[in-house]
Amino acid sequence: MSEIVYLGIDLGTSRTSITSSTGVRQTVWSYVGYPKDHVAKKKLGGRDIIYGQEALENRMSVNLFRPLAGGSIKAKGAKDTSETKKAIKDLLEFVVSMAKSPKGSTIYAVIGAPAEASVEGKATILEAAANCIDSVIVTSEPFSVAYGLDFLDDTLVIDIGAGTTDLCRVHGKMPEPEDQRTHTVAGDALDQTLANLIKEKYPEAQFSINMVRAIKERHASVSPKMEEAMEILPVAGKPTKFDVTDLVYKACYTLVPPTVAALQDLIATYDPEFQAKMRNHILLGGGGSQIKALGLAIEKAMEEYGGAKVKTVEEPQYAGSNGALKIALDMPESFWKEFKSTKSAAPAAKA
């Protein structure tokens, strides 16, 4: 009988994390690169595909894909090109390979997707998993976070990624569609807003969106007393110092209003007897949870609705994949066998 390996995978627009029952925990940037020509392939040691940060750093030599950004997995109604689907498949196979499962293992995986991922998006995930996973459950990313931390009783989860901010109402069972909300003011949108603000205030500054993302990650804060943020950017090729403190604050704060609106909507449509409990049991996760003072800013904005209490997860990078693994381990074996298929056919389980 083959060994069973359980995987928890958090498919992120910016980063994808995996936690396995074999003890592996790994994260890779969600980029896939294909050499542009034979010179590029030679430079990359003869490889046909490179992944993660290496792909980003070699973007001048490769056709670079960030396949989880803006496709059907992240946005309702979006369509995936054949190239994008191939990149998603290649990325997922690479992530699964990082678990270093023994040869011949049976692999069961729970994969986190945005709270309101479309039917097409879930189908894309299942199709991508067909050749490397025996049976798959696609579940809500914020629910995975809550499950991993045992926050299963009247909890509101906010999972802030690069492409979407996902919210989920958790109340002792698998979430229904009405328990979930998604909006697109997330990491990528903050990067673009910050880029626009810098361009408006300092039109002479030269920068790329990757440089802006790095600035945000160094200084991200919504504290009225945030530390001064000084950055060096080229002006006509000459390194020049700029004060971007207020710009970083303004860009990051754009996340608060739509998140509070979604929170209040989930609270207002919940059983009135339990609304106060849920409002005071909010869990903040995802990469965006690392924005300084974000939890306090949400609490302050919620004062007009009766107040709130926000707790930030301690390990945002792996909270989703850890929770997904816990779901996989807790799932009855009969469930996995019911949906088991060969790796040459698409798995069929989703939640």
Q: What is the pLDDT of residue 345?
A: 42
Closest among 119, 121, 36, 39 to 84, alpha carbons compared: 121
CA distance 83 to 71: 12
Cα–Cα distance for residue pair 300/308, rounded to 1 Å? 8
Identify the pLDDT of residue 80.
Answer: 81
Residue 346 is predicted with a pLDDT of 40
Segment-wise mean pLDDT, segments of 10 residues, the chain, 351 residues = 88 92 94 95 95 94 90 71 92 94 92 74 86 89 90 92 91 88 93 98 96 96 95 96 98 97 95 92 94 97 94 91 95 74 44 49
Please give the Cα distance from 227 to 250 (Å, whole number): 14
**Region 187-252: CATH code:** 3.30.420.40
Q: Output the pLDDT for position 333.
A: 82
CATH code of the domain occupying 149-185+254-313: 3.30.420.40
Give CA–CA dist 165/220, Å, rounded. 16
Please give the CATH architecture assigned to the domain spanning 4-146+317-339: 2-Layer Sandwich (3.30)
Rounded distance, CA 54 to CA 66, Å? 13
Question: Please, where in the chain does CATH 3.30.420.40 lie?
Answer: 4-146+317-339, 149-185+254-313, 187-252
User: Token pair of 100, please?
Assistant: 């270093």
